[in-house]
Amino acid sequence: MFESLGSKLQDILDRVGRESKLTEAQVKATMREIRMALLEADVNFGVAKDFVAKVSEKAVGQEVMGSLNAGQTIVKLVHDELVETLGGKAAQPELKTQGNLWFMVGLQGAGKTTSTGKLAHLYKSKGRRVLLVAADTQRPAARDQLEVLGKQVGVPVLKVQDGETPQETKRRLEEHLKTDYRDLVIVDTAGRLQIDEALMDQLANLQAELQPTETLLVVDAMTGQEALNVAQTFDQRVNVSGLIITKMDGDARGGAALSARTVTGKPIYFAGVSEKIAGLEPFYPDRVAGRILGMGDVMGLIERAQQADLKAMEQQKAGDFDLEDLMNQLRQIRRLGPLGDLMKMIPGMSRALPEGFSVDEAQLQRIDAMISSMTFKERRNPKIIDGRRRKRIAAGSGTSVQDINKLLKMHEQMKEMMKMLQKMSGGKGMKGMKP
Ligand code: GDP
Ordered by where they begin, the domains of the chain are 3-85 (1.20.120.140), 100-291 (3.40.50.300), 296-433 (1.10.260.30)
Q: In this predicted structure, what is the pLDDT of residue 287?
A: 83
CB atoms within 10 A of CB 379: 17
Pairing of strands 214-220, 100-106: parallel
Residue 246 counted as an annotated binding residue: yes
pLDDT tens per residue across span 249-269: 877 778 888 888 888 889 999
How far, in Å, from the CA of 363 to the mean position of ligand 1? 30
Q: Does residue 85 line the site of ligand 1, with CB under 6 A?
A: no
Q: In this predicted structure, what is the pLDDT of residue 256?
A: 84
Say how many CA atoms lie within 13 Å of 208 toward its Cβ.
10
Quick check: helix, strand or coil at residue 108?
coil
Residue 247 counted as an annotated binding residue: yes
Phi-psi region of 124 (alpha: psi -120 to 50; beta: other; left: phi over 0): alpha
The runs of H, that is alpha helices, within 126-184 are 142-153, 166-179
Burial label, 183 (beta-carbon count in 10 A; 0-12, 13-18, 19+): middle
Strand partners, 103: 187, 215
Contacts of 20 (CB under 8 A, 6+ apart): 68, 69, 70, 71
How far, in Å, from the CA of 148 to the mean position of ligand 1? 14
Residue 190 counted as an annotated binding residue: yes
Atom of ligand 1 nearest to the CA of 106: 3
CA angle 352, 355, 358 (to 5 degrees): 80
Q: Does residue 138 line the site of ligand 1, with CB under 6 A?
A: no
Q: In this predicted structure, what is the pLDDT of residue 316?
A: 55
In the predicted structure, residue 435 carries a pLDDT above the cut 60? no
pLDDT tens per residue across span 340-395: 565 566 555 555 555 444 556 677 788 889 998 999 899 989 999 999 999 999 99
In the predicted structure, residue 39 carries a pLDDT above the cut 50? yes
In the predicted structure, residue 432 carries a pLDDT above the cut 80? no
Atom of ligand 1 nearest to the CA of 116: 7
Q: Does residue 275 line the site of ligand 1, with CB under 6 A?
A: yes
Task: Tell me the average pLDDT across 136-148.
Answer: 87
